[in-house]
């Protein structure tokens, strides 16, 4: 199909929940994507922090092809080797003890909420527990995840949501302390706010939250769906802070394009869920878990974390130069290859102009340009990005 045919067909039959660019992507290679007309795009979005290992990785592709020939799906009433191996790898990487595999990040957040509530119920013998979440946060669009997403724009048409959710200001410790009470069973936050504008947690903020949780018997849930899996130069962003969560949610780069997520917890907490409490048809199936196993193998084989730590310093340098050069740019912030530049104008036009220059970027909110490239990028790729972005400013 030609591009116009693809777009017309999609517009006729898909529910219109996305304002899509008038581009139909057809294939990828390394850090580049190509549309149906053959135009090349340097990808600094990675499918929203998903394709960490780059496109068309032959080892990854072959592992998936091999698993397709063996077994794609059975059900969770049986064991399968990829799920067992994937569980071992992700628990080791996070420092947790057990994992429940889901199909997405949103579902991972749903499971984390249920686990926290069930754990509190078993501990206290009552329901009605509350959760403290953060303003300006994003955890997903299903009803539970939406309930802890601190943005009224996403919530207003879908009430009533889960009751007992209180919202503190991110990086404002007193705001959080004012909301914690005897009903609080969990505090949930992104270690780095993504959709909210690339805001890393301050070290004193997250460490004091850990102390509060320890003192009051509250569970700390960290959402590492976007900032995890090596994006910050460590496997998980909270590892920069010297603390561990009680529950952590993962997804996106966990499967590098194959839909899979998960929520993980320490043993004492995880055992609160028993058969019948939670389930999924597709979560943890052999195909998705084979992707996870290969992703971890490639991270080690290709020294992904080393590359992130090396190239991110260069990216920060070049982005800081852009901020100094342009009056409409306010500041750069982020960790590793999760970076954002806050600007004083709407980012929509810059994102659109970048596409015309063959550069894929995403925004965060209306005034932040977000940089989430594949974790295999080089300094040369950064230079190419900067050239294209400067051209976009002039368009």
**One domain for residues 139 and 277:** yes
Instruction: Find the CATH number of the domain harbouring 385.
Output: 3.90.1150.10
**One domain for residues 290 and 325:** no
**One domain for residues 106 and 116:** yes
**One domain for residues 232 and 359:** no
**One domain for residues 114 and 191:** yes
Q: Which of 344, 362, 346 is nearest to 354 (CA)?
A: 362
**One domain for residues 285 and 330:** no
Report the pLDDT value the prediction gives residue 77, as an integer from 0 to 100: 96
DSSP 295-352: HHHHHHHTTHHHHHHHHHHHHHHHHHHHHHH-TTEEEEEEETTEEEEEESS-THHHHH
Domain boundaries, position 364: 3-53+303-394
What is the domain count for the chain? 2
Report the pLDDT value the prediction gives residue 114, as an integer from 0 to 100: 98
**One domain for residues 102 and 234:** yes
Report the pLDDT value the prediction gives residue 395, as an integer from 0 to 100: 76
**One domain for residues 307 and 344:** yes
**One domain for residues 252 and 278:** yes
**One domain for residues 347 and 318:** yes
Residues with pLDDT less than 70, the chain: none
- Last residue in a domain, options 269, 301, 333: 301
Q: Which of 203, 311, 333, 255 is nearest to 49 (CA)?
A: 255
Instruction: Find the CATH number of the domain harbouring 211.
Output: 3.40.640.10
Cα 238 to Cα 384: distance, rounded to the nearest angstrom: 31
- Last residue in a domain, options 285, 301, 317: 301
Cα 55 to Cα 52: distance, rounded to the nearest angstrom: 9
**One domain for residues 247 and 384:** no
**One domain for residues 198 and 326:** no
Give exposure, 103-115, as e/b (b: 16+ Cβ within 10 Å): bbbbbbbbbbbbb
- Last residue in a domain, options 282, 301, 320: 301
């Amino acid at each position: 199909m030609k591009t116009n045919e693809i777009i017309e067909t999609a517009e006729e039959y898909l529910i219109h929940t996305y304002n899509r660019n008038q581009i139909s992507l057809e294939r990828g290679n390394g850090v580049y994507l190509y549309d149906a007309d053959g135009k090349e795009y340097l990808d600094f979005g990675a499918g929203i922090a998903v394709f960490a290992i780059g496109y068309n990785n032959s080892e990854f592709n072959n592992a998936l092809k091999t698993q397709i020939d063996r077994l794609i799906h059975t059900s969770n009433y049986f064991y399968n080797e990829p799920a067992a191996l994937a569980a071992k790898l992700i628990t080791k990487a996070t420092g947790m003890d057990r994992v429940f595999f889901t199909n997405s990040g949103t579902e991972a957040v749903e499971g984390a909420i249920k686990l926290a509530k069930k754990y509190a119920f078993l501990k206290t013998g009552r329901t009605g527990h509350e959760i403290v979440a953060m303003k300006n946060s994003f955890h997903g669009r299903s009803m539970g995840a939406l309930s802890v997403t601190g943005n009224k724009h996403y919530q207003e048409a879908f009430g009533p949501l889960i009751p007992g959710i209180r919202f503190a200001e991110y990086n404002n410790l007193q705001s959080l302390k004012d909301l914690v009470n005897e009903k609080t069973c969990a505090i949930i936050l992104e270690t780095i706010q993504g959709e909210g504008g690339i805001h890393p947690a301050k070290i004193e903020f997250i460490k004091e939250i850990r102390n509060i949780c320890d003192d009051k018997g509250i569970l700390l849930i960290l959402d590492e769906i976007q900032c995890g899996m090596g994006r910050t130069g460590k496997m998980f962003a909270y590892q920069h802070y010297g603390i561990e969560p009680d529950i952590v949610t993962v997804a996106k780069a966990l499967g590098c394009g194959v839909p899979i997520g998960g929520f993980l917890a320490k043993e004492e907490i995880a055992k609160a869920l028993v058969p019948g409490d939670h389930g999924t048809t597709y979560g943890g199936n052999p195909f998705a878990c084979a992707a996870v196993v290969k992703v971890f193998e490639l991270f080690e084989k290709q020294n992904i974390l080393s590359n992130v730590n090396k190239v991110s310093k260069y990216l920060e340098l070049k982005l800081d130069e852009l901020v100094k050069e342009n009056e409409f740019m306010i500041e750069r912030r982020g960790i590793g290859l999760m970076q954002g530049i806050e600007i004083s104008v709407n980012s929509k036009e810059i994102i659109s102009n970048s596409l015309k220059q063959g550069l894929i970027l995403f925004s965060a909110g209306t005034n932040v340009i977000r940089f989430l490239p594949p974790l295999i990028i080089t300094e040369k790729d950064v230079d190419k990005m900067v050239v294209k972005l400067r051209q976009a400013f002039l368009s």
